[in-house]
Chains A and B, each alone.
Chain A
Amino acid sequence: MSLAASPERKCPIIALASTKGGVGKTTLAYVLATELARRLAIRGRGRITCIDADPNRTLSQVLELTDDPLITCVESDSDRLLADLRQAQSESDLVVIDLEGTANQAMLYAAGKSDLVLVPAQPSRFDVVEAVKTIGVVRKAADLVGREIAHRVVLSRTPVLRQRVADHSRTQFVRAGLPLLPVELVQRAAFQSMTYTGKPPWRQDGGGQAAANVVSLTDAVLDIIGLRFADQVASGSLLTVA
């Protein structure tokens, strides 16, 4: 299945949004993009476009380090976002938008255009509050543009070991009526070291826990937008690629 074969077939857009900073938007955008690029590389063709609408340009910086030939990074802002999106959609298999950690115009536009909005949140009360706010914005945007916009809260930096506060936060997200992605981005050193080395977890240690985490997370995300890259590669076996 080719996703961007004809101009009419628009490729899916995933936006990373949160009105709070430091929750893991860029981390999640980066691991998703690099993991999808890895799967596309197995397929042999394709292209991921990352749109960095965060004025801090953190995603651009780390992608520049990574220098993956299948990933194109576009620096954008609220004025250029719609044009950049159109351009990206016409020539990619998937678009990932990383946003600034605040409620702004770019966030509204990105939400209005996206197929899936992921709202990373750490297990803390402030993050629950901001996630509720962000999801509220996404839902209103869906009303205004007159279509469903899938959205999920992705718990990020959750402790590897069971902690009561993390459990409590999960309960709070569910109580607030926020849909949770079944896979969380666990706190791992690989997710921090990649910001220095530009090496995604599967390049650092293909069989490691962080890489496995990213694989199942990406599977969960692709499930929601009804996509599967590299179907022939099952989640377990592709960890051997490096």
Chain B
Amino acid sequence: MNDLADDRDDAAFRARLAPLASEVLPPPPAPLVQRKRWNIMVPAGIAVAVAVLGFAWLQSKWPWSEMPRAAIHAAPPAPDPSAEMVRLLMQRGDAAFAVGDIIAARLMYERAAGLGSANAATAAGKTYDMEFLLNAGARGIRADPAAAAAWYRRAAALGDPEAKTRLAGQKP
């Protein structure tokens, strides 16, 4: 009927309840535009400053490409949580090997090699290596030249020099 009067009534009603709203309700978010500007401008400024200072620093270090790699990647190597596991596996593998349990030793070595140990890969290769098994006096174990070569290759790839010589010895 009288829309204007109704609107005025509503506005008055809202205004009366306004103090309660500020008390009970969570605060309204700040205006989006303003927040947006700050959110973008501050990190952008920081990023530009870092880029400029970083470039200047690199220039001062020139010729940085001739610096040793270790100096560029100065972060200390992260302690390897699997190193301890490798050590334990190798220990148990050697113990098993010492009492002639080649199969058990092979299991340990292979698992240690799976954690990235070059020594373990070589040791695993030896448990398949006919020549090594004969020298070690192991009996009743079937050698597998292909498996031995595979493990040696892997150890060589991981940088183990013994594996390289053994791999060379296998070929003929």
How long is the Cα–Cα vector from A86 to B25 in the complex, in angstroms? Answer: 24
Q: Judging by beta carbons under 8 Å apart, are A144 and B16 in contact?
A: yes
The digit string for A187-219, where 1 denotes a CB below 8 A from any CB of B, is 000000000000000000000000000000000
Give the dominant DSSP class at A's interface.
helix
Interface size, chain B (Cβ < 8 Å): 12
| A145 located at the interface, meaning its Cβ lies under 8 Å from any Cβ of chain B in the complex | yes
Q: A104-B25, A108-B24, A137-B24 are in contact. Are A144 and B17 (CB under 8 A)?
A: yes
The complex places the Cα of A104 from the Cα of B14 at a distance, in Å, of: 13
| Complex Cα spacing A104 to B23, Å | 11
A83 neighbours in B (Cβ, 8 Å): 6, 10
A-side residues, CB < 8 A to B, are: 82-83, 86, 103-105, 108-109, 112-113, 137, 140-141, 144-146
Can you list, as one digit per residue, whether each of B19-40 has a CB less than 8 Å from chain A (1) or not (0)? Answer: 1110111000000000000000
Q: B24 touching A112 by the CB < 8 A rule?
A: no
B25 touches A144 (CB 8 A): no
Q: What chain B residues lie within 8 Å of A146 (beta carbons)?
A: 16
- The 8 Å CB contact of A137, one of B16, B19, B20, is B20
- The answer to whether A109 touches B20 (Cβ under 8 A) is no
Decide: A140 near B23, CB < 8 A? Known: A83-B6, A86-B6.
yes
Smallest Cβ distance from B88 to chain A, in angstroms? 51
* B13 contacts partner chain A, Cβ-Cβ < 8 Å: yes
Contacts A144-B20, A146-B16 supplied; 4 other A-B pairs, CB < 8 Å: A86-B6, A108-B21, A144-B16, A145-B16
